[in-house]
Amino acid sequence: MKRLLILLSACCLPLALHGQETAVKDIPDEIFYLMPSFTQGTIYIHGQAPAQGMLNICAVDQSLRFLDDNGTELSANDPDIIRRVQLDTVGFLRSDGAFYRLYPVSPEIGVALRRDVRILRDVKQGAYGTTNQTSSIRQYSTLYTEGASQQLNTNGTRSYVVLETVCLYCRDAVFRLTKANLKKLFPDRKDEIDARFKSKKSLPDTVEEASALLRLLASAQ
């Protein structure tokens, strides 16, 4: 823990200094964080040895959170110095300002899932639990588009959208889930990829479907 505090003390502040935190913490923990609870984890930092501590990741601001020796929750203000985080048996890769949860298919390739929680501002609660907003966000249960699913919550005191985007990763790089990127990852399977998209034009929009496709492509390499 001391090593973790030394490495991150320059870029961490108590959450009490972040004015927005108290306004959004009425979101359930299983939505607010990427893990159900704080757990022992390892941080892999660019150019430095790994550090360990009690860790979690916030899905609202994509920040790394950790508990100090007094149980105070701290937030890393410069998480881009972080390359990877391992929380229990779950791995996360830092890329493009976010933490992607990794679902390995092979030692180097797998599915990377990004989850963002967006607070809806100026939402008015209507009859029967409906909501209205100036940006015309409509109420829906789940919407899948281009490998992303969105869910709108209106049951609590704070309305929010959960956006999950299915991507690919290879080693320490994250890629959009596209036909072109699949061909880059599997150059020997271009014919199979073309055939797959002729028979099924849509991209996989769940971790399970994307993982199944990667296993199929990887099996013949």
Higher pLDDT, 20 or 75: 75
Please give the residue that has the higher pLDDT: either 156 or 187.
Answer: 187
Q: Find how far residue 214's CA is from the centre of its chain.
A: 20
Q: What share of the chain has pLDDT > 90, as a percent?
A: 43
For 45-98, the pLDDT digits (tens) are 888 889 899 999 999 889 898 888 888 888 876 778 899 999 999 999 999 999
Read off the tokens for 119. 């607070």
First-to-last CA distance in the chain? Answer: 43
pLDDT score recorded for residue 174? 97
**Cα dist. 178→109, 116, 174 in Å?**
15, 20, 12
DSSP string over the chain:
-HHHHHHHGGGEEEGGG-TTHHHHTTS-HHHHBSSSS-EEEEEEETTS--EEEEEEEBTTT--EEEE-TT--EEEES-GGGEEEEEETTEEEEEETTEEEEEEESSSSEEEEEEEEEEEPPSPEE-GGG-EE-TT-PPP-S-EEETTEEEEEE-SSSS-EEEEEEEEEEETTEEEE--HHHHHHH-GGGHHHHHHHHHH--SPP-SHHHHHHHHHHHHHT-
How far is residue 45's CA from residue 199's CA, in Å, rounded to a whole number? 43
Report pLDDT digits (tens) over 115-155. Answer: 998 887 655 544 434 333 333 222 222 333 344 444 444 44
d(CA 61, CA 20): 10
Cβ neighbors of 52 (< 8 A, separation 6 or more) are 1, 3, 4, 40, 41, 42, 43
Is there a contact between 76 and 8 (Cβ–Cβ < 8 Å)?
yes
